[in-house]
């Protein structure tokens, strides 16, 4: 990975959107700093569309889509998107009419997981979720990696998928990942096809469940606390961790884009 200072003005000016993870990328744990939040306003002023792409629940997405200076939120690792349309919240469940049946099947799988691993604890945001169930492995609880892998194998044996973030183990029956959900959202929101979405959008994240986005988008950043082992790593990395790193990336993007606009005049 190259330092983010190596980002060229040409590449920064080409971008039309920034997609960003929440936990341990924009947020310091679950805390939103003033520097990170104000960076969203500066990025928007630079002409970038902003989309949160997160494993956090759609209940969170409903709030931030209403209150933050963003164009929408793709939540639950790609399954549910939230946006404002003429001031009214719109929710897109990409499972459509199959959601109720999937939810019933998922609930049965989750019961089996807790019967097999009674020491596990559900995440404290699970009640705000529609498409998945999350187990706390690093937010308030500390679950050994070996146990996490045993749970993942057990879940796969029951026909479900798993994804891990820096804080949660996700169990789902949905087939989308963060990148697929983000591309679908960008197509609906801006009319971009896959090539436009992946070439005109940058992504910044920190963890294993960001792998699909690091692989799909052309311009990718990691905050310094990035620790995942991925087939396709992010291209650039910040000096700062978490929200500080996000603010650093935002500052570089805004500065490179402003220089280009000044030169164009």
CA dihedral 100, 102, 104, 110 (to 10 degrees): -140
Q: To the nearest whole percent, how much of the chain has pLDDT over 70?
A: 98
The pLDDT value recorded for residue 261 is 58
Q: How confident is the model at residue 208 (pLDDT cuts 50, 70, 90)?
A: confident
Do domains 2-94+177-264 and 96-172 share one topology? The answer is: no
Comparing 96 with 223, which gets the higher pLDDT? 223
List the beta strands (DSSP E) in the chain: 2-3, 17-20, 49-53, 72-75, 80-85, 88-93, 132-136, 161-164, 168-172, 201-205, 219-222, 236-237
CB 51 within 8 A of CB 72: yes
The rounded mean pLDDT for the chain is: 95
Helix (H, G, I), strand (E, B) or coil at 113: helix
For the chain, which residues make up each domain, given as ranges? 2-94+177-264, 96-172
CA dist list (Å): 164 to 74, 199, 218, 265: 17, 26, 23, 46
62: CB partners within 8 A, 6+ apart = 82, 89, 91
Kindly report each contact of residues 65-68 with a partner whose C-beta sits within 8 Å and lies 24 or more positions away, as own/partner: 65/89, 68/37, 68/40
Phi first, then psi: give them for residue 54, nearest 5 degrees.
-140, 160
Q: What percent of the chain has pLDDT over 90?
A: 92
Whether residue 90 is predicted with pLDDT greater than 80 in this model: the reply is yes
Question: What CATH fold (topology level) applies to the domain 2-94+177-264?
Answer: Rossmann fold (3.40.50)
Task: Tokens for 68, please give them.
Answer: 């933050």
**What's the CATH fold of domain 96-172?**
Hypothetical Protein Ta0175; Chain: A, domain 2 (3.90.1070)
CA 211 to chain centre: 10
Report residue 264's pLDDT band, with 50, 70 and 90 as the boundaries: very low
Contact (Cβ atoms closer than 8 angstroms) between residue 180 and residue 211: no
The pLDDT tens digits for 10-63 are 999 999 999 999 999 999 988 999 999 999 999 999 999 999 999 999 999 999
What pLDDT, in 10s, does the model give residues 101-115? Answer: 999 999 999 999 999
pLDDT, average across residues 188-205? 97
Look at residue 99 and tell me whether its pLDDT is greater than 90. yes
Cβ atoms < 10 Å from Cβ of 208: 14
Single pTM value for the model = 0.93
């Amino acid at each position: 990975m190259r330092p983010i200072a190596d980002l060229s003005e040409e590449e920064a000016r080409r971008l039309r959107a920034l997609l960003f993870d929440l936990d341990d990328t924009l947020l310091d744990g679950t805390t939103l700093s003033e520097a990170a939040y104000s960076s969203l306003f500066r990025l928007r002023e630079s002409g970038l569309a902003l989309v949160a792409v997160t494993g956090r629940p759609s209940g969170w997405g409903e709030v931030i889509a209403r209150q933050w200076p963003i164009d929408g939120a793709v939540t639950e690792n790609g399954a549910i998107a939230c946006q404002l349309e003429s001031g009214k919240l719109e929710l897109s469940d990409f499972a459509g009419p199959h959601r109720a049946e999937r939810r019933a099947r998922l609930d049965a799988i989750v019961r089996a997981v807790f019967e097999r691993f009674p020491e596990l604890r559900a995440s404290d945001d699970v009640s705000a979720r529609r498409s998945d169930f999350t187990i706390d492995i690093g937010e308030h609880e500390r679950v050994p990696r070996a146990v996490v892998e045993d749970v993942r194998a057990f879940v796969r044996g029951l026909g479900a998928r798993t994804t891990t973030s820096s804080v949660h183990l996700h169990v789902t029956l949905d087939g989308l990942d963060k990148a697929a959900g983000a591309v679908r959202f960008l197509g609906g929101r801006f009319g971009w096809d896959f090539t436009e979405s992946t070439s005109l959008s940058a992504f910044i994240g920190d963890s294993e469940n960001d792998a699909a986005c690091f692989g799909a988008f052309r311009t990718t950043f990691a905050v310094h606390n990035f620790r995942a082992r991925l087939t396709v790593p992010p291209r650039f990395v910040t000096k700062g961790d978490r929200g500080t790193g996000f603010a650093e990336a935002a500052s570089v993007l805004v500065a490179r884009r402003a220089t280009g606009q000044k030169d164009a005049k």
